[in-house]
Every structure is written in structure tokens, then in C-alpha cells.
Structure 1
């Protein structure tokens, strides 16, 4: 419970002080509750006297009433936290999880599936709030009531008290076994739930492809394995704790029966009065009830611990450290000073002793095969991670001396794959600057070449773009992302080949918008189509994490044996495609229509 209490205090967050106070109130209320049960013993003893002493009966009735009233008043205070703070703890937990995810290093965030994080922020946060607001007080009752009543029974008759103690000690190993099995089982179930949630998100997003390939439905290879694992984990968790729970409850009941049997024998032997036996039996029954319930509730506590542990796992991820002495850059040249970087879990570095400078107000293009390190360079510039060796600087300022959010204030990124939220066009553009006015948003849209399209929509800028921007074409989505960059007006622009997936007409419009966007900026572009970077101030050719060539387009073409010249030749030749069709082919022959290309695939 100490471990669970620590996790509960973490989940309580800013309400930890109120949570501690509530636990103290719950403890006091439970002690009064146990004392009220104990007061039945002398009350019953008085009622069994002959003659009955009315004054003493009234006294104990008054004590009982006072204890019950005091407990009731304390329970009201206890419930104030339960009912008034449950939603506040839930909200606070989710806000803190959001802040932790925002501060989490990108490579750590990337290894966590979206559906799994949804499970943490959704179900786990709800379970954590329930544990803080309700389960902790319940645990206090389950422990305190038997403890107080056990002391009372021992005081009345040590022999009967020892029977209860022996039964409790015999049941404890079973409760511990329930705890161990439930802890392992619920962690497995929670992980399976997170994996299932992640696959469901992926399934829904990929449903058009799955339908086209006939793999949608209950037997989809994307869903069936994780649903099967989830079912097996749930079944195994339920089975594993069933016998220990039954064993613990049986031992507690046997202890109660043994107490009554021993008490009856002592009464028949005139060593115990019937009134005392009756009083002890009532106290023992109330003693046994929480213990039997504890065996069942242990599963719920372990379920809570699994949820709390997953939340704690996110909240305790350390953000990237910020070195002292940092100051906002005053210039915006970029410099990689002998940078070496290796992703977590990999043995070979992705970037090796990389050294280059991007002058302010210049355009540098990165080209190379997939996996050569182009995207990693842009990630390090955005401080999604820090290099293990070397330094990345903006305007002479080491990025490790700036918080990631401070770095990103100076950088606008236009990706090839645009991510839009299921909100209005206005809201999606305003992500770059939430305080922007409608006039500023419209000006950014005009600069991006999308205002004319938006103005023709029935709801204009209030039009919703659909999930992932499904209501817009690829070119429209890309221009909307460029409008974001215009609105941000950052001095550094990173372009990840934003026209690669567009048709020729959309590409021309987007290229015009990009030309306006990068004017007067410091620009790095990841290029796949070499024709788009012939005017770059410098081109860096990457291979296996190293710069193998650098220079202008003309200078690199002057090296006929260089990789850039070979890539240029391959892409130039690859533009000559033809559709070969013709005549009737045998049934077992190749397709009647085939795509033929005059050169090998481009190396990019």
C-alpha cells in the first residue's frame, strides 16, 4: 500500500494536500466506526443482565449514537473530496500528462504508440482519479475496522482473540498471492489494452486500404492478433486470482466458525457468559467482513496500481535538459559542429562527425538515399533530441542552452505529409499563432495561395477539414500548412520536400507559395526531386550519415563520377515513361498493360 499511496500522491498532483487531509479524516471516521461496533459489546452485556440496568443501557446507547453521529459528520467531509475533487483530479492528471508529452523528447515520444498514449490519458487517468478519490478511503476502512475490533476481542477474551489472529495470519499468504498475481496480470492486461487501442487507431486510419485488399472485418490481420492477446490476457488475469481469493475468504469464515465453536464450549463450561459470547460473535462477524472483502478488493487495488504506474511512467520521463547561459539567438545562421548522433536502441550512428554551416538568408538542400540522415538533421535542428557528440547552433547559440519550445519559436516546418486536425480551416492555420486575428489568418492564406479556394466554400474559413484533412485535396492541405508557416513568420524554414506527392498543377501552385515563404529566410530543404533545388546556395550530398559532396548544382554536376551527378542523370532519364499495351496476350501471359521506364529508379 505504501507503493500505491506514493503513486496516488503523484496522481493527485496539485490536490495532494487535500488528499492527505481526506485520508486523515477517513482514518478518524473509520476509528469511530470501529468504536461504534465495539460499543455493542457492553450494550449487549447490559441487555443480558438480570435485572437490566436501564441507566447503563441508556449510557451505552448514547455513546453509540455519539460515535455514529461523529462518523457520519466525518464521512460527509470525506465525500466532499470524493465528489468535488474526482473530476478535478482527472482534469489535472490529463493536463499534466499533456504537459509531460509536450516536454518529452521526440524520440521517446515516437516509440510510444498513439493508441497506447490514448489509453493512458483516457482510461488510466480516470482509474487514477477513482483510486485517489475513493479506493484510498476504502482501503483505510478495510484495514482499520478489523484492527480495532481485533484488539477489542483480545481484550474481552484472549483465547477467542487468538482464533481471529490465527485465521487472519493464515489468510494473509492468500491475499499476498492475489496481490502478486493481480499485479502481473493487470499490467499485462493494461499493456494489451494499450496495444489494442493503438491497432484500432491504425485500423480506422487504414480502413480504405484494408477494404481495397479485402482484409477489413473481424479477421483483419491488423486487429485479430491483438484482440486475441487482449482476450487471453484478461482471461488469464481472472483465472490466476480466483483460487487465492476463494482460499482467503474460506479461511476467514473458518476462523469465524472456530471462534463461535470455541466460545460455545467455553460458555457450556461456564468460563464465558452468554452475553460476552454474543457480543464477541457480533464483533467477530464485523471483523471478518472487511477481511473477506479485502481479498476481492485486492484485485481492484492492483488494477489501480497498474493504471497509476502507467501514468507515473509518462510523468517521470525527463525532458531534455537546458544548459545554463542560453540566450535567444540574434542571428539565424545554422551550424553543425562535428555532430555525431545515434538513436536510442541502435548501435550504429545515424550521423557521423557532421560539420557544415548554413549562412543566414541562404538556402541549403539535403539530398541522399533513404536513411542517409537528412530527416535526422532537421530533427536535431528542432531539438527533438541532442547529439551525443558535437554541437548544433542557431546564430551562435548552442541549442542545448535553449528549451525545445524556445528553439521551435524560431523555426517553421513544412512537411511532405501534412497533419491537419478535424477542426476549421481558421483553427488549423491559427495553430502557428493562436492569438492571430482573422485579418492575419486571411493574409497568410492569401500568401499561401489558398484564400481564393477558401472564399468559395459555403462556410469559408469556418469550414471543417475532416479527420486528417480528408475534406481537402493534397495540394489544398499542403497550401494550408504553408499558410501556417506564413502566419508563424519564423526566420528559419525547414522544408521536407513538400511537393513530392502532388500532381504537376498543384506542385506549380505550391512551389510559387514556397518561393514567397522562403524569401529572406534561412532555409534547409530535403530534396527528392533534384530539379527543385538547382538554385540552392549549397547542396549537401549525404551518404550513410556523412557529407560526401557539397557545392552548388553546377559545381556538383562538374564532378561526373560523383553521386549527385549520377542521381541527376538517373532522374533525368526516369522522366521518359511510356505505356506499353497491345494485342491479345495468352491467358497465362503477363498483364496486357505494363508500365515501362527507360532507366533505373532514382536513387532518392
Structure 2
């Protein structure tokens, strides 16, 4: 764990952490030395001339004071190092994830990253500030005592050292039982938290459908399971802790029995033997404390592993210096094959030429690879084989900054920051003036939204944009992408969940951009599809049809079926059933 701690903290933290470990070692050894000095002190007090105890009392006083000073210094250094390392860890995580491909940021990964920020880094901070000192003291202080005992009575030293392996095995068993119990408690707590949030969010549904009792039952069951897991944790960890404490006490008892046997046989000085046995009892004090460290150490070790896993994730390779940029905004895919971690191909031999300043609609059934295709253009991932070119340049030969200036992407699921409408649009280009922001807003139809809001441009949108409707959020997101003014604009189902008014506004924006930018649109809406310069039909990761709307209808293939199905769906209406 110590090696992993140094690895995760980074090279800039090695100096301060080394200083902390030196301070901890000095303190632990001084503490052991203070315990050891009790032996000659008691030996002198119990001997023929108690006056001989004064030099040992003075030595013990000096060492005790030095131990107190060392304790204060190591605590102050530990707190400073803990704060500095946690600060650097946040920066390391932030700097590193900013280099990772956008495809890495799945819901699961984002959740784990949030856990690391809220719990993982604080656990590492707690390890440095609070756990290292008792951990090292539990090892180094008894070791100092055992080494010193050799000079007093090697037989008692051997008897004491013989119990160390047994204590270690008992400790490992206790920690293992605690780890298994903690995993069950964490899972039950996560499920209970999820049920609580679900119960609160689902109140409108529960009340309007009369499902309040069912909702409470689900909540109560998850809370009962959490309580059962906590009780099981206590039942499972108690034997391990009890066994470890018992082993420590038995080890001390065996040394006391050994000392008593030596004293009865006349093989040891009684005064010195009594003092040494007092030292043995003191030896057990820091060791017993390790039983309480197991859960904290396991949590910190798990946090280190998870942080290391993120920091070990390699970013996509890119050139160190910018090369020639794209010649134009054309997009080319050459025999692209791509699949996720499960090995199932999502795109299988896709070849496509999209001239600059044209509009291409990508359609097809769910799971056909539409979103994967459009995200490969933005280099969320690298292709398995083949190449994606932008303006004749392989995207792998562009730096991240070069690619970002060339491509804008509008997602189906829009996220707005908890700021004003103006500030959310300005994210696309922070240095843009009001005129540019207003023009992007006009093209996206946001000016109409601003005009009817009391606070206008300074209207707060709330966290995630919750103060706006879904269509309004989509328009703000589109304005943000337009303000960036990238020559290639990718839209992934940007109009799929919009009402007619907002869909018309977004469609008006796309019409205004025709011939000005290269547009690649994943769409199901008929109006968006029919106006494209080219339509690509994907099925099973392959392009099965490609052409204009009229050409594909005349072909009478999958696209024609798709068109008929969409047309029929638009004519659906609810009919009232008349009963007689």
C-alpha cells in the first residue's frame, strides 16, 4: 500500500511524504526507546540501591520529551502533507481526465469519478493524516522493544518474537472478514440511497396512481436490508477482532509464563525480569490498536487502487506538435471497423465520402451504429481498423486542440451549467463579444426565448438547465455549438424529443447552415432527413443504402420502408372507444 501511495501521489509529493515517513519513524522508535528505558529504571528501583534509578529517570525524561516533540512534529507534517497531497490528487485527476477520450466518460465512469472526488481522495487524505502514525507505530515501536529485549534477556525476546507471525495471521484474517462485510454494507447502503432518491422523485407518480403504499414498501425493504447488512457486519467482524485481541493477549501471556518459569528456576534476575515483563505488556499496547485500523486501511487501499486505475488509463495518442491542419471541412471514412470492449463489431467496413459544406443524414434502426459513427468523427475513440479523415488529414494526426477547433457536437441529452443563458452560450467561445453571442442565439432561435423571459439574457437556467424546457435547452446547446464556429457540425438525435415549435426552430437553424458548414445529422424526423444532400442508411454496422431522398425512395429498399413507417406513425391518433 505504501508503494501505491507514493505512485498515486505523484513525483512532486515524494519529498514531503518522505519527510513525513522519516518523522513517523523517528517518533515510533523514540516511543519504543521510552518503553525500553522503563526496564533499567524499574530494575534500579527494585534493586539493592534505588538511588541508581536517577540517571535512568533523567534519560527517560529526556526521551519522553523528545517523543512528545516528535509526536507534535509528525502530526503537523502529516496534516500539511495530507492537505497538499489531496490538493495535488484533485489536480492530477482533473488534468488527466481532461486528456482522456470522450468515449471514456460513460455514466458508470462518471459515477466512479464522482465517488473518487467525494470519498476516494478524502480517504487518502485521512490515511496520511490519521492512519499512518498508528500503523507505523504498531510495527516499529514493538520491533524496537523486541530488539532492545535481546540485550536484557534474549530468551524473552525470542518468546515475544515468536508470537508475531501468529498475530499477523490473525490480523489478516480479521481484515479479510471486515472487507467482505464492508462490501455487503456498501452495496446495501447504495441500494438504500437509490431507493430514497427514487421515492422522493417519484412522489408525483406515486400520488397520482395510488402507488404510495407500494413505494413505501420498496423503500422500507431496502432500509431493512441495509440494517440487516449492518448487523451482519457486526456479527462477521466481531470474531475477527476478538480473535486478534485474544492472540495478542495470549502472546503476552506466553511471554509472562516464560519469564515466570525463568524466575522460578533462578535463570534470571527477579528485578530485571519484572521490569522486562512490564515492557512486554507495553509492547502489546500499539499492536492491539491495529484491530481498529483494518476498516480504515482497507477503505484507503481501495481508494488508492481506484485512483490509480483512473490515472493509469491511457489517453488517445496524438502528435506532440501541431502538423498541417485540414485542407477543408470534408469528412472521409475509409473501411472503418469498430467495436466496444465486448468485442462485438458495431461498425463493419464503413466507407464514406462527405464533401465539404454538405448535409448528410444518417438513419437506420436502433443499434445500427449511428451514434458510434458520428462519435468516431469527433474521435471519442479510435477506430479498430481503417481511418477517419478530416479535410484529408487522419484525425489521429491532429492534436486535440486542432480537432476541437474543427468539430462541434450537439448531443441528444443536453447539459447546461447552473448559470445564465448568456453564460451557457458563451461556453462555446469564452472570448466572444455580445454581438457574436446574439448572432449565434438568433440562428438557434434562442433570441425568441430570451425575449419572453423577464430577466432576458441574465435568466438563470438552473442546474442542468432545469429552469428551461427540453426544447429550449436544445436550442441553447445549439447556439453554443454555433458560437464555436467550427466548420464541421455533428448532431446526434438533436431533434428527436422536441415539440413541433422547437423542432421547427432547430430545423430553421439547420436550413440556415446549409452550404455554410459540413453537417452530419443522426435523425429520425422526416423533415430533417428529406432536406439532406445525402442520406446514409446504416444497418448492422454497414452502409446498406446511400443517396438522395428521391433516389432511395425509388430504390424501394430499407429506406423506403423506413419512410413509410415514419409517415404512418405521424398520422397516428388516439380514438375514443364508444360503448353501447
TM-score, normalised with respect to structure 1 = 0.86
| Counterpart contact for 1:114–1:198, Cα < 8 Å | no
SS in 2 for 1:383: coil
What is the rounded CA distance, in whole Å, between the counterparts of 2:228 and 2:386 in structure 1?
48
Greater shift in the superposed pair: 369-378 or 127-136: 127-136
Which residue does 2:576 correspond to in 1? 581
- Residue number among 21, 39, 62 corresponding to 2:19 in the alignment: 21
Q: Which runs of 5+ in 2 are unaligned?
A: none
Structure 1 residue 385: deviation in Å? 1.2
Alpha carbons of structure 1 residues 255 and 96: separation in structure 2 relative to 1, 3 Å: same
- State the distance in 2 between where 1:97 and 1:222 align: 37
CA gap 1:95/1:374 in 2 versus in 1, 3 angstroms: same
Following superposition, the deviation at residue 304 of structure 1 comes to: 1.7
Counterpart mapping for 1:129-528 below 5 A = 129-186=125-182, 219=215, 234-322=230-318, 327=323, 328-347=325-344, 349-404=345-400, 406-438=402-434, 440-517=436-513, 520-528=516-524
The 1:200/1:446 distance shift into structure 2, 3 A limit, reads farther
Aligned pairs for 1:59-78 within 5 A: 59-78=55-74
1:9 equivalent in alignment to 2:9: no
Give the corresponding residue for 1:571: 566
- In terms of fraction of residues, the more helix-rich structure is 2
- How far apart, CA to CA, are the structure 2 residues paired with 1:191 and 1:128? 21
C-alpha spacing 1:225/1:420, structure 2 compared with 1 (3 Å) = farther
Cα distance per residue 1:525-578 (max 9 Å; x no partner):
11202222323221111121111121122222332x222223223333443344
Distance (whole Å) between structure 2 residues aligned to residue 296 and residue 9 of structure 1:
24
Note the alpha carbon deviations across 1:492-549, whole angstroms, 9 max, x for none: 1011232232222222223223333555111101120222232322111112111112
Q: CA–CA distance in 2 between the matches of 1:566 and 1:252? A: 78
Aligned pair in 2 of structure 1 residues 271, 213: CA closer, same or farther (>3 Å)? same
Instruction: Give the length in aligned residue pairs.
Output: 578
Cα deviation digits, residues 357-398 of structure 1 (max 9, x gap) = 111111111111112211111111111111211111111221
Distance 1:573 1:247, change over 3 A: closer
C-alpha distance in 2 between matches for 1:197 and 1:380:
36
Q: Which residue of 2 aligns with 1:589?
A: none
1:128 and 2:124 matched: yes
Q: Assess if the C-alpha contact under 8 Å between 1:117 and 1:194 holds in 2.
A: no
Instruction: Mark the CA change 1:237 to 1:391 in structure 2 (over 3 Å): closer, same or farther.
Output: farther
**Residue 575 of structure 2 aligns to a residue in which SS?**
strand
For 2:192 and 2:157, how far apart are their aligned partners in 1?
A: 50
Question: How many Å separate the matches in 2 of 1:209 and 1:139?
Answer: 52
Q: Matches of 2:434 and 2:186 in 1, distance apart?
A: 45
Q: Does the residue aligned with 1:461 lie in a helix, a strand or coil? A: helix
Distance 2:305 2:226 in 1: 19
Alignment partners' CA distance in 1, 2:352 and 2:304: 46
Question: Which sits farther off after the overlay, 104-113 or 241-250?
Answer: 104-113
* Contact 2:475 2:506 survives alignment (8 Å): yes
Alpha carbons of structure 1 residues 15 and 511: separation in structure 2 relative to 1, 3 Å:
same
1:538 equivalent in structure 2: 534
Extract unaligned runs of 5+ from structure 1. Answer: 586-604
- Asked if the contact 2:494/2:523 (under 8 Å) is kept, the reply is no
Secondary structure of 2:329's match? coil
CA gap of 1:408–1:199, structure 2 versus 1, over 3 A, is: farther
Aligned partners of 1:519 and 1:221: how far apart in 2? Answer: 58
